[in-house]
Structure 1
Amino acid sequence: MAFYFLLYWHFLLMVMVIMIVAGIITFLFPKFPSIVVLIISGVMGFVYSICIDFKDASLFFIGINCVVSLISILLIRYLLFLKRKAEEMEKEV
């Protein structure tokens, strides 16, 4: 297992970059459709599976990328929701 992570350290790097980019896109452009970000992250997982010549696991890479980007999208959406609610409560007081 440790050998896998040493050999494919770029998988972890890809997952981190996908999470950061999805969060930044969602934060900077809140009206941008989330499904587009999920599709792009899925395509990146497919491209990654082709690049490492491991097409059998492409569904796994696509799923992991979509889940990771969905987590960051939901966290940013929740942050924006809390910000909006705080501003509404501030106006009431």
Structure 2
Amino acid sequence: MNLKPLEDKLVIKKVEVEETTKSGIVLPSSAKEESNIAEVVALGRGILEDEKKKDEVKVSDQIIFSKYAGTEVEIDKEKYTIIKFADILAVVER
């Protein structure tokens, strides 16, 4: 099943960030806050057709988004979040 976001929305999938303490202990995801780093899975037509927005983010980019943004959905046992373009705080460049 494919998700097709409308207008200025994006579908993102949160990235699991493994955290290790200074002493080398790996913290499980249940022991820390949920990450606000995600990979872009799909873009809405409003973003793709906007001259300013279309070059700022693309599918497979990693982004940082607002902590309480979006709506979480589960499709085919995968969790996704749908957010507005305005909720993107930064694109992670590597």
Q: TM-score, normalised by structure 1?
A: 0.25
More helix by share: 1
TM-score (norm: length of structure 2): 0.25
The structure in which a higher percent of residues are strand is: 2
